[in-house]
Amino acid sequence: MNKTILTFLAILFSGFIGAQESAITFSLDEAIAYALEHNRNVKNANRNVSAAEEQKWETIATGLPQIDGNINYQNFLKQQVQVIPGSFTGGDPDELIPVIFGTEQNASASATLNQLIFDGSYIVGLQSTKVFLEISKNNLEKTELEVRQNVINAYGNVLLAEESELILKKNKDVLQKNLEETSKIYENGLEEEESVEQLQITLSGIESRLKNATRLKDIAYQMFNISIGIDINTKTILTDTLENLTLSNISLDLLGVEDNVQANIDFKIAQNDMKSKELMVKLEKSKALPQLSGFLNAGYLAFNNDFKFLNTDQEWFGFASFGLNVNIPIFSSLGRTAKTQRAKIELEITEENLTELEQQLRLQISRAKSDYQFSIEDYEVKKQNLRLAERIEKKNEIKFFEGIGSSFELRQAQTQLYTAQSEYLQSMLNVITNKTQLETVLNRPNY
C-alpha cells in the first residue's frame, strides 16, 4: 500500500516538475505577435493613448454645462447682537437698544449651473486634444516598430549564438580527433612535438571560445525573453533557423521602394509637434479676447429656532437668479504680446527642425538601403569564402597526415576556416537586421 502511494506521488511530482520546465516555442512571426501584446513598453504606450482619449473628453467637458449642488446648515450657538436707536420703538433717540435678528438655526439647499459661452482658449484647447491624441497614437506606432525591430534582432542573436555553439562543438571534436591521431604519430617517432603543440594551442582556443559562446547564448535567450515581455528565466525554443530567416529576408524589391519621408514615424511625430506649436501661437492670441459665461442659481432657505428642517410642516422659501460674467482683457503691460512672440519663435525653430529632420531621414533611408544591399552581397561572398576555406582546410589536413604538409600550414588553414565560419554567420544576421532597419525607417514592416 505504502509503495503504491509513493509511486503515485512520484508520478505526480514528476508531472509537476515537467509542467514547470515546459518550454514555450516561438517562430519569428509568433514572437513578434506575442511581443506586440505583452511587451511592457507597448502596454504603456497603449495606456498613454487611452489617457489621451480621456484627456480629450476632459477638455470637452469644461465647455459643457457644469452643475454643482450645495447644502448648508448653521446653528448660532450665540447669536450676533445688533443695536438700534431708541426712536425705533418710540423711546429716547439717544438710547441704543440691543436686538437680535434672525433665528438660532437656518438651512439652505441650492444648485448652480455654470455654462461657458465663449472662450478663445477653449476652442484652441479642443484642437490641441486632437493633436495630443494623434501624438500618443504616433508614439504607440513608434513603440511597436521599435519592439518589432528589437524582437527580430534578439531572435537573430539567439540563432547566431546557437549556430556558433554548434560549429564550435564540431570544430572541437575534429581538433580532438586530430590531436589524438597526431599524438600517436608523434609517440611512434614519425612527427615532431611542435605539431602536437600547435594542435593543443588551437584546441585550447576553441574550447575557450566554446565556453564563451555558451554563456553568450544564455544571455541572448534572456534578452529575447525581455524583448517579448516574459520572465528572463522562462525556457523558450525558437523554431526558425538562421539560414531560413536569411533567405526569407532577401528582398531586392525593397530596395526599389520610394523614399517616402512623410511615412516615417519620426517625421509624423515632428509634424504633430509643429501643429502643437501653431496651436500655442493661437492660444496666446486668444488670451486677448473676451471671455463670456453664464450662470443660473436656484434653491431654498429655511429658518427655525429648533432643528425641525426635516419635518413636513417646516416652511422653505425659494429663490432663483441668473446672470452673465464677462472678462475683458484690457492691458497686460505687453505681457501677452511677449508671450505671443515667444510662441512664434518656438514655431519657427520647430519648422527649421522639421526641415532638417526631413533631410536627415532621406540620408538615413539611403544609408539603410546601401547597408541592406551590401549585406546581401556580403552574404553571398561570405558563403563562397566558407566553401573555399572548408576545401583549403580539408586539403591541408590530408597533406598534414600524409606527411607533406606542416602543422603551421594546417593551423593557418584552420584559423582561416574558423574566421570564415564566424563571418558567414554574422553575414546572415546582418541581412536580417539590415532589412529590419530599412523596413523601420520606411515604416513598412513585413514588406
How far CA 420 is from CA of 167, 292, 379, 388, 409, in Å, comes to: 12, 78, 11, 9, 16
Residue 440: pLDDT band by 50, 70, 90 thresholds? very high
Residue 5 lies in a domain: no
Mean pLDDT of 28-55: 96
Residue 46 lies in a domain: yes
User: Quick one: what percent of the chain has pLDDT higher than 90?
Assistant: 70
Amino acid (one-letter) located at 243 = E
Question: Cβ distance 413 to 399 under 8 Å?
Answer: no
Mean pLDDT of 200-220: 94
**238, 246, 248: which is closest to 30 by C-alpha?**
238
1, pLDDT greater than 60: no
Residue 233 lies in a domain: yes
User: Distance (Å, rounded) from C-alpha 364 to C-alpha 361?
Assistant: 5
Residue 182: pLDDT band by 50, 70, 90 thresholds? confident
7, pLDDT greater than 80: no
Q: What's the confidence (pLDDT) of residue 193?
A: 82
Q: What is the pLDDT of residues 224-270, one digit of tens each?
A: 999 999 999 999 999 999 999 999 999 888 898 888 999 999 999 99
Q: Which of 89-98, 297-306, 347-356, 393-402 bottoms out in mean pLDDT, i.e. has the lowest? A: 89-98
196, pLDDT greater than 90: no
**441, 263, 428: which is closest to 366 by C-alpha?**
441
Residue 21: pLDDT band by 50, 70, 90 thresholds? low
Residue 8 lies in a domain: no
Q: What's the confidence (pLDDT) of residue 4?
A: 52
Count of the separate structural domains present in the chain: 1
Mean pLDDT of 73-80: 87
Residue 14 lies in a domain: no
143, pLDDT greater than 70: yes
Sign of the four-CA dihedral 198, 199, 204, 206: positive
What count of other Cβ atoms lies within 10 Å of the Cβ of residue 206?
22
Angle between helices 28-38 and 40-61 (to 10 degrees): 40
Q: Give the DSSP per-residue string, 15-29.
A: HHHHHHT--EEE-HH
Residue 9 lies in a domain: no
Residue 19 lies in a domain: no
3-state DSSP assignment of residue 326:
strand
Its domain, for residue 64, covers 24-79+116-442
Q: Which residues contact 370 (CB under 8 A, 6 or more apart)?
A: none
Pairing of strands 291-304, 236-238: unpaired
Q: Which residue has the cell 524583448?
A: 227
Q: What's the confidence (pLDDT) of residue 9?
A: 47
Q: What's the confidence (pLDDT) of residue 195?
A: 83
Q: What is the CATH number of the domain that holds 222?
A: 1.20.1600.10
- Mean of pLDDT over the chain: 90
Q: Give the DSSP per-residue string, 161-229.
A: HHHHHHHHHHHHHHHHHHHHHHHHHHHTTSS-HHHHHHHHHHHHHHHHHHHHHHHHHHHHHHHHHHHHT
Residue 52 lies in a domain: yes
Mean pLDDT of 106-127: 93
Question: Cβ distance 243 to 166 under 8 Å?
Answer: no
Residue 111 parent element (H or E): strand 105-118
User: Distance (Å, rounded) from C-alpha 189 to C-alpha 183?
Assistant: 10
User: Distance (Å, rounded) from C-alpha 432 to C-alpha 441?
Assistant: 15
**301, 327, 299: which is closest to 314 by C-alpha?**
301
